[in-house]
Amino acid sequence: MKSVIVGTAGHIDHGKTALVKALTGIDADRLEEEKRRGITIDIGFAHFELPAPDGSRIRIGFVDVPGHERFVRNMLAGVGGIDLVLLVIAADEGIKPQTREHFDICRLLAIRRGITVLTKSDAVDAETLEVVRLEVEDYVRGSFLDTAQSPMAAVSSLTGTGLDELKSALAQVASEVAAKDSAALARLPIDRVFTMKGFGTVVTGTLVAGTIRKEEELELFPAGKRVRVRGVQVHGSPADAAVAGQRTALNLAGLSTEDLARGMTLATADTFHSTSRVDAFLSLLPSAKPFKDGARVHFHAYTTETIAEARLYGTKQLKPGDEMYAQLRFAEPMLLLPGDRFIVRQFSPVVTIGGGVVLDASPVTRKQRAEDAVAFLKIMRDGSPEQVLAARVSRRGAIGLRLIDVPGEMNIQWGEAAKLAAKAGLVYFSQMLIAPTAYAEAKSDVLQALKTFHDSNPLVAGMSKEELRDQVNLGPEVFYSVLGKLAEEKKLEVAGELVHLPGRGVVLKDEEAESKKIIEQAFALAGLKVPSLREVLAGLKVDKIRAQKIVTLLLRDKVLIKISEELVFHQSALMDLRHKITAFKSTAPKIDVARFKDMTGVSRKYAIPLLEYLDRERVTRRVGDERVIL
């Protein structure tokens, strides 16, 4: 059965609650104070079913809002998720201040369908009713309630006059309303929190997107807590699941009423993030005063209310009736997504002055030029989904965007994110997305960093991977993808942890080459009775720093092998030692220090470190004072 949420709007005492009761039989005023004072203070709810023009049934859920100017904040908590509105105007009073403010709010929230209802038709004569009708027709002309496309009905909740005609009109308009996306990521802005005997904690709200099922795990925003859905009710009846467009009550496990409040949101887990700022398209009402950059406002979106500071892009002041891109910075974090509509009210005195639509709930925190921000936001507002994703990835440069973060940032399903990435022509690897231009720049930066390194370090074979990554400031996924691609293109070479350009590496000058030869020969000729490294280096023509780099090269190439802090041997001497040990095994399976000294002709100064080296290399294994030859 199709579900449609209908909101009321209009001035105080124009009969909104009485109309809802006359249609549904349910009194939406649930508070004792409301009944005692005879006015609606907070949002109320009711529901009934209507036959659709095609013979099917439509479930109508009403959100009845207060009309008093002091309770507009409560009215705003109710209208965010409605599909169509009943603009209620009393025939005996006509258009009043809250009629205008509520109507402005409906237009700012981009509500597309509705019905104008002239209530209390029994309180005036036919001539007066006609005058009011003409006045209202003129007032709504050019809007979504223009009577050329939207019905107008005159009713009396007291006598029942016109109710059947209103129900017929409501069924027709509701059948034309596009259904909300039940396959989308779920979001339920909370408008009520209470405890129900025998059930525990219960929250209610209008499910604005997706589906919520019994036993599903959701995430509470902005707290970030996980919560399990113990039970689901739709329009007061138990259900296995609630779908977008339905008034929904959830029995929650793991949270108390102290953990919850109106303005919080339940949503699909592990997908979204709360935000303290959004970039948006802001529209100012013609009736508003000039709006200055940096002004503080009351911000309303769905059931959430907070204080925000508005930073205008590219201008210092917004004139009445104008619109502009802006960043809104909130006093408290909340869950907002691209496409969410909002209302702003003047800080003091508190009156509605404008509204708009969220374009980016993940704006960059670095300072940017206004023209760059506006260019990006124009794409967010008018671009195709592929263009939007491409722009979101491009602004991150070589950092890229994880594919898993796209659904939460763009409010789309994961499968759709993967399809968009393919259409947008982005570079995709290891679950990362990066713009082709940024990927090309990253490759260029890596090659340039290597060239600079080789030019400055001719005696070093190459850069370590980590040093190179730090130099070019790339994330690990992007860096290793770039490294692999450049190696595949034979533009660089990777040897273990070292990276170098083809044909580059160690380039020795004549005196450096000569010194390298002297060092190598000194240790090769010494056998196992090696000199100290300090003595060898002291006799070279090159300075100490270059001499040490030459030794590093010889150690890296395993021409020299360092077996302790004090001793360095030529690899040929150690190879000969291995052969001697192997030959010794044929006569004795074990060897001690004394026999090792006799065999090699070295002193204890060399014997102990050499035996420990052979243990590490698994040529021998120490057992007591002897070594077993393996």
CB atoms within 10 A of CB 318: 23
CA angle 108, 114, 115 (to 5 degrees): 130
CB-based burial, 527-560: b 16+ in 10 Å, e otherwise: bbebeebeebbeebebeeebbebbbebbebeebb
Do 340 and 389 lie in one domain? The reply is no
Query: What pLDDT does residue 547 have?
Result: 80
Do 61 and 161 lie in one domain? The reply is yes
Do 261 and 286 lie in one domain? The reply is no
**Of 268, 290, 317, which residue constitutes the final position of a domain?**
268
Query: What pLDDT does residue 142 have?
Result: 94
Query: What pLDDT does residue 33 have?
Result: 62
Query: What pLDDT does residue 267 have?
Result: 95
Do 172 and 120 lie in one domain? The reply is yes
Does 14 fall in a domain?
A: yes
Is the CB of residue 459 less than 8 Å from the CB of residue 553?
A: yes
| Rounded average pLDDT per 10-residue block, the chain, 630 residues | 89 89 83 60 83 89 75 76 93 93 92 95 94 96 94 94 95 91 92 84 92 95 93 90 92 90 94 95 94 94 94 93 95 95 92 95 86 93 94 92 92 89 88 93 94 82 86 89 92 85 69 80 88 82 79 81 88 89 85 90 90 91 88
Does 138 fall in a domain?
A: yes
Do 317 and 449 lie in one domain? The reply is no
Spatial CA neighbour of 204 closest among 354, 325, 78, 112:
78
Do 223 and 166 lie in one domain? The reply is no
Do 316 and 359 lie in one domain? The reply is yes
Do 365 and 411 lie in one domain? The reply is no
Do 98 and 21 lie in one domain? The reply is yes
Backbone φ and ψ of 311, nearest 5°: -110, 115
Query: What pLDDT does residue 131 have?
Result: 95
**Of 117, 151, 176, which residue constitutes the final position of a domain?**
176
Q: Please tell me the distance from the alpha carbon of residue 266 to that of residue 212, in angstroms, as a whole number.
A: 10
Does 181 fall in a domain?
A: no
- How many domains in the chain? 6
Spatial CA neighbour of 522 closest among 558, 566, 460, 572:
572
Q: Please tell me the distance from the alpha carbon of residue 164 to that of residue 181, in angstroms, as a whole number.
A: 30
Does 378 fall in a domain?
A: no
Identify the CATH number of the domain in which residue 310 sits.
2.40.30.10
Sheet containing 427-429, strands listed edge to edge, beginning at the edge strand earlier in sequence: 401-402, 432-434, 427-429
Q: Please tell me the distance from the alpha carbon of residue 298 to that of residue 282, in angstroms, as a whole number.
A: 14
Does 431 fall in a domain?
A: no
Does 105 fall in a domain?
A: yes
Do 215 and 282 lie in one domain? The reply is no
Identify the CATH number of the domain in which residue 99 sits.
3.40.50.300
Cα separation values, 25 from 157, 390, 476, Å: 11, 52, 63
Cα separation values, 611 from 158, 586, 599, 617, Å: 107, 18, 12, 10
Does 492 fall in a domain?
A: yes
Query: What pLDDT does residue 143 have?
Result: 94
Is the CB of residue 381 less than 8 Å from the CB of residue 281?
A: yes
Do 241 and 293 lie in one domain? The reply is no
Number of helices (H), then strands (E), in the chain: 19, 35
Does 182 fall in a domain?
A: no
Paired with 277 in beta bridges are 329
Containing structural domain, residue 51 = 2-176
Do 156 and 281 lie in one domain? The reply is no
**Of 479, 500, 521, which residue constitutes the final position of a domain?**
500
Backbone φ and ψ of 588, nearest 5°: -150, 135
Identify the CATH number of the domain in which residue 484 sits.
1.10.10.10
Query: What pLDDT does residue 79 have?
Result: 81
